[in-house]
A = this chain, B = another copy of it.
């Protein structure tokens, strides 16, 4: 099954990057400003709302402090349900390197192409958020098409 893969390098500690991936304030700082739920414990559920465009609900599967975050999508677009979203962190000098994988897509549909590019944009928002305190979460996200997204 095809996966979406990405890698960004953040000028930070893995501790700060991990915080941005495991706290509601952190997630709201780079993905969508309307983030709710319990992101800091295994089994917790997180609700990511993108206005009237849609939402994703994830369940936290794994948390290894400053190293690894893994979620499973439990509700949202049909193509996303059951997929897993993982972030691996490692310290390389002044850089927290983030290896991202969104795995379990059934088919490489056009929507998967879209989500791949959109993930890159949001991971650049994560980088900016951790480095400067300011990201571009929804509804201020960088648009990759001319309409809604």
Q: What is the interface of chain A, defined by CB distance below 8 A to chain B? A: 2-11, 94-95, 97, 99-101, 108, 110, 112-114, 116-117, 120-121, 123-124, 127, 142, 144-147
Contacts and interface: CB of A to CB of B under 8 A. Distances in A.
Contacts of A145: 7-9, 95, 97
Given A99-B113, A120-B120, A5 B147 contact: no
For the residues of A in contact with B, the DSSP-based class is mixed
Contacts of A146: 9-11, 94-95
A5 B108 contact: yes
A127 B112 contact: no
B113 A6 contact: yes
A108 B127 CA distance: 22
A148 to B, nearest CB: 10
B144 A7 contact: yes
Contact of A110 (B2, B7, B110, B127): B7
Contacts of A124: 117, 121, 142, 144
A7 B142 contact: no
B144 A4 contact: no
13 contacts: A5-B112, A5-B116, A6-B116, A7-B113, A7-B114, A7-B116, A8-B117, A9-B144, A10-B146, A99-B113, A100-B113, A116-B116, A121-B124
